[in-house]
Each structure stands twice: as structure tokens, then as C-alpha cells.
């Protein structure tokens, strides 16, 4: 079995990388080092939704209460609205057992909560990976600042444009989707007193806008999805133009409440949306991928961070079972086999959800779209929210033990 002398490098200190560090330490019992290219953790970004399936994992890891204290639980289910603000469908927000409810998290807050659970001396900031080289007894990593080291294994949690994936596995780059997102947060205290403390999505022709509460309801997250021929590199921090955002949702075809919300925005960021067909492999020898590096997906199902969380605990369970350092490659291969099917389903589901939100033209069957959205509430609850990554990993391990 692997143990505390087994050294694992995690490339990427975002939400996936930090969750992996917690899981690998607490479940697999290995020694981790997290390398992050930024010089500060969690200093940019907007909101993410930690869904019931992600919370179930965080509960197992002992960090759920910390996350909930930093986040915001909505008053109830979210709503899908047409562009004028009329109710189209209700959205799922809790699992079937009503044990876990979606929590809105300010991204820097979530990063900070996770980082607090990782020993500070295991996180290396300002380390941009330049090369990775498999060795007979491990993996060598080199960084732009001249630092280099050797590890028993490497986990690439370095996002959509993963250096680990691109330098080692020669896999295709994610493709620009043709959409950008304007995103950011506003102070909730400036909203009307009767503003609903829930997730809301306004759907119009070729674009949509969503918002939900964060940070114990002190902030409100917003994202406006619009078509664009500017294929911005995926980023949380590129400054955007508030007036351009307002123009996208101006006019009498949009709900006055939404237009008022947008008028309150004083700062926004660009975010280029990239998509990827499911990969055929995430692992090569003692190197594996996790989160966006493994399964880039559009954000319309709200599952990006949650799938990285599921990846993390699954990886930890399989690595724990590895028969010494030489068994790491087999553990990574099995982890990949278990996770690929679920994430492929959600990649396709995210793409389909975005198309549904934007279907409002002369060729669209709006009644069918609306019915599909209503039916989708049960899909999200049963397929997404009720999924237990811990039980799935344990069941898979039993199956592999019999082989």
C-alpha cells in the first residue's frame, strides 16, 4: 500500500487541486505538494454552486460545515424564467432525501476554506509548470522559476488549458464554444428588499442571464451568457465592459427587474467558454488528470467544481489501494475508468442545457423546451444530486478486488 513516504505533486491550487490534496492526505495517507502558478490563492473569481453531490464528498472529508458557513443556502428551489420574467419551470436545489441543499459560494471563499484544511507548508505559490518527464521510478517536474523535483506521482488539476495534459498526453485542445460570459458579484444590500434569495435564470433568444446569493447573502453572483466571435482564453480575471453587458439585455424584450439588476453592476469580468468532447484517457503511467483538465465542460449544469470534488475522493480511494509505488499507474488507470462515463454524460448534459436556455426563436418549439426543463428537475435530482461518489468508489474497488 502507499503510505506517508509516497510523494504526490498536485499541479494547480484551485478548488479541484485543493480538494484533491485534502482527500489524498486524509484517505490515501500520502504526502502531497500543491504547486500553483499564481502568487496568491483565490484572489479572483465570482460564484460557484456547491451541489448536493459535491457536498456529500465534502461531508466525508470533514469540511462541509466550513463551506456552508462561508456560503449561502437559497430560500428554496431556483426558477427558470422567460426573458420577460414569467415562470417557465422550477429548478432542483436539493437531493431526494432533503439532506443536502445547493450552496452558493464566492470562489475566493471556497478556495480559502479548502486551503485552510491543507498544511500551509505543502502549498507552493508562484510555480508555473514548464515540463513534466516520466522516469522509471517516478515523475520529474520543472517550473518556470527554476525549481525542479521528482515525485512518485503527479495529478494535473491545472484547468481547461492544462499544461500537464498538453505536454504529456498529446490530447486535443478544448474548443471555443462561441459564447462568452460576463460574470461578477454585487453587494446584496443594494438590491430591492423583496429580491428573491434563490437562483434565477432569464432565458432569451441566443443568450441567458443567471444570479444567486453568496457569502451568507452578503453578495449576489451573476453571469450573463452571450454569443461572441472573440475567443477569449478561459479566464476569471480579464476585465469586461459593463455597458456592453447592459446592452446585451436592454430593451422591452427583457424583464425590467433584470435590467434594474444589471444597472447596479459596477464591475464585470470576461470569461471565454470552452467545450471539449469527452477524452478517451486521462492517465499515463504515474500521471493523471482531474477536474477541468480531464473533462472540460460548459457551466450550464453547474457541475464543474462538483465533478472535480467527485474526482478527488475517487482518486483518493483508488490510490489508497495501490500496491506500493509500482501500483500507482494501475490505480490511476482504474480511477479514470470509473470516472470517465459519469463526466462524459455531464459534459453532454451541460452542452444541451445551454442550448435549451437559448432556444427562443422562430424555429424553436418553446412548449417542448419548457416541458423538458420541467422534466429536467427530476433528472438533476436523481442523476446529479443523489449520486454518492464515495459509495460508487467503494463499489468499484470491490469489483476490482475480485479480478
Query: Is residue 39 situated within a structural domain?
Result: yes
51-55, 59-63, 160-164, 232-236: which has the minimum mean pLDDT?
232-236
- Which pTM value belongs to this model? 0.93
pLDDT at 389 over 60: yes
Is 223 within a domain? no
Asked if 50 and 305 touch (Cβ cutoff 8 Å), the reply is yes
pLDDT, tens digit, for every residue of 108-141? 999 999 999 999 999 999 999 999 999 999 999 9
The pLDDT, as a whole number, for residue 398 is: 85
CATH number at residue 303: 3.50.50.60
Spot the catalytic one: 80, 176, 212, 274.
Answer: 212
Residues 6+ apart with CB under 8 A from 165: 156, 171, 289, 293, 294
- What pLDDT score does 300 carry? 82
Q: What is the pLDDT of residue 215?
A: 96
> Is residue 402 pLDDT above 80, yes or no?
no
Tell me, what's the pLDDT at 351? Answer: 80
Give 98's pLDDT tier (boundaries 50, 70, 90).
Answer: very high
Lowest mean pLDDT among 154-163, 226-235, 244-253: 226-235
Euclidean distance between CA atoms 238 and 269, whole angstroms = 5
pLDDT given for residue 248 in this prediction: 95
Is 113 among the domain residues? yes
* Mean pLDDT, the chain, integer: 90
Query: Cα–chain-centroid distance for residue 222?
Result: 16
The answer to the question of residue 355 being in a domain is: yes
Asked whether the predicted pLDDT for residue 233 surpasses 70, the reply is no
pLDDT band for 43, please (50, 70, 90 cuts): low
**CA angle (206, 212, 218) in 5-degree steps:** 145
Indicate if 222 belongs to the active site. Answer: no
The pLDDT confidence band at residue 22, using thresholds 50, 70 and 90, is very high
- Summarize pLDDT for 311-344 with one digit per residue, the tens: 999 999 999 999 877 899 999 999 999 999 999 9
Q: Would residue 216 count as lying in a domain?
A: no
Pairing state of beta strands 79-82 and 200-204?
parallel
Residue 211 covered by a domain: no
Lowest mean pLDDT, pick from 13-17, 174-178, 288-292, 358-362: 358-362
Domain that holds residue 163: 7-174+276-401
Q: Where are the beta strands (DSSP E) in 51-206?
A: 79-82, 87-90, 103-106, 123-124, 129-135, 138-143, 148-151, 153-156, 175-187, 200-204
| Short-list 234, 270, 346, 343, CA closest to 301 | 346
Q: Is the pLDDT of residue 352 over 90?
A: no
Summarize the confidence of residues 50-73 as an average pLDDT.
97
CA-to-CA separations, 164 to 158, 169, 226, in angstroms, rounded: 7, 8, 30
Whether 230 is in a domain gets the answer: no
CA distance 151 to 183: 38
Q: If you average pLDDT over residues 341-369, what whole number do you get?
A: 74
Instruction: Please say whether the beta carbons of 95 and 382 come within 8 A.
Output: no
Asked, for residue 217, whether it belongs to a domain, the answer is: no
Q: What is the pLDDT of residue 219?
A: 97
Residue 364 predicted with pLDDT over 60: no
- As for how many domains the chain has, the answer is 1
Looking at residue 363, what is its pLDDT? 45
What's the confidence (pLDDT) of residue 362? 46
Amino acid at each position: 500500500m502507499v503510505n506517508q513516504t509516497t510523494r504526490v505533486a498536485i499541479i494547480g491550487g484551485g478548488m479541484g487541486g485543493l480538494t484533491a490534496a485534502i482527500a489524498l492526505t486524509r484517505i490515501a495517507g500520502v504526502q502531497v505538494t500543491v504547486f500553483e502558478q499564481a502568487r496568491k490563492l483565490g484572489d479572483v473569481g465570482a460564484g460557484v454552486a456547491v451541489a448536493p453531490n459535491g457536498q456529500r464528498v465534502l461531508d466525508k472529508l470533514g469540511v462541509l460545515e466550513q463551506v456552508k458557513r462561508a456560503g449561502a443556502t437559497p430560500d428554496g428551489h431556483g426558477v427558470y424564467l422567460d426573458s420577460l420574467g414569467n415562470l417557465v419551470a422550477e429548478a432542483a436545489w436539493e437531493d431526494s432525501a432533503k439532506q443536502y441543499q445547493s450552496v452558493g459560494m464566492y470562489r475566493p471563499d471556497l478556495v480559502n476554506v479548502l486551503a485552510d484544511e491543507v498544511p500551509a507548508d505543502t502549498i507552493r505559490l508562484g510555480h508555473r509548470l514548464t515540463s513534466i518527464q516520466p522516469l522509471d521510478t517516478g515523475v520529474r517536474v520543472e517550473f518556470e522559476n527554476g525549481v525542479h523535483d521528482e515525485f512518485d506521482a503527479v495529478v494535473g488539476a491545472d484547468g481547461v488549458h492544462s499544461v500537464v495534459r498538453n505536454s504529456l498526453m498529446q490530447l486535443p485542445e478544448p474548443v471555443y464554444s462561441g459564447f462568452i460570459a460576463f460574470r461578477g458579484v454585487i453587494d446584496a444590500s443594494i438590491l430591492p428588499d423583496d429580491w428573491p434569495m434563490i437562483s434565477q435564470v432569464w432565458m432569451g433568444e441566443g443568450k441567458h442571464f443567471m444570479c444567486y446569493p453568496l457569502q451568507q447573502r452578503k453578495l449576489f453572483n451573476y453571469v450573463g451568457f452571450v454569443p461572441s466571435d472573440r475567443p477569449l482564453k478561459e479566464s476569471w480575471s480579464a476585465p469586461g465592459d459593463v455597458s456592453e453587458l447592459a446592452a446585451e439585455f436592454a430593451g422591452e424584450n427583457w424583464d425590467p427587474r433584470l435590467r434594474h439588476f444589471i444597472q447596479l453592476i459596477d464591475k464585470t469580468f470576461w470569461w471565454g467558454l470552452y467545450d471539449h468532447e469527452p477524452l478517451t484517457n486521462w492517465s499515463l503511467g504515474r500521471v493523471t488528470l482531474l477536474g477541468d483538465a480531464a473533462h472540460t465542460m460548459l457551466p450550464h449544469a453547474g457541475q464543474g467544481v462538483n465533478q472535480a470534488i467527485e474526482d478527488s475522493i475517487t482518486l483518493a480511494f483508488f490510490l489508497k489501494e495501490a500496491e506500493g509505488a509500482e501500483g500507482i499507474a494501475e490505480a490511476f488507470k482504474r480511477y479514470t475508468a470509473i470516472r470517465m462515463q459519469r463526466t462524459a454524460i455531464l459534459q453532454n448534459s451541460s452542452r444541451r442545457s445551454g442550448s435549451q436556455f437559448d432556444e427562443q426563436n422562430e424555429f424553436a418549439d418553446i412548449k417542448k423546451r419548457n416541458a423538458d426543463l420541467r422534466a429536467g428537475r427530476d433528472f438533476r435530482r436523481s442523476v446529479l444530486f443523489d449520486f454518492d461518489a464515495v459509495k460508487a468508489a467503494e463499489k468499484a474497488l470491490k469489483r476490482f478486488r475480485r479480478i
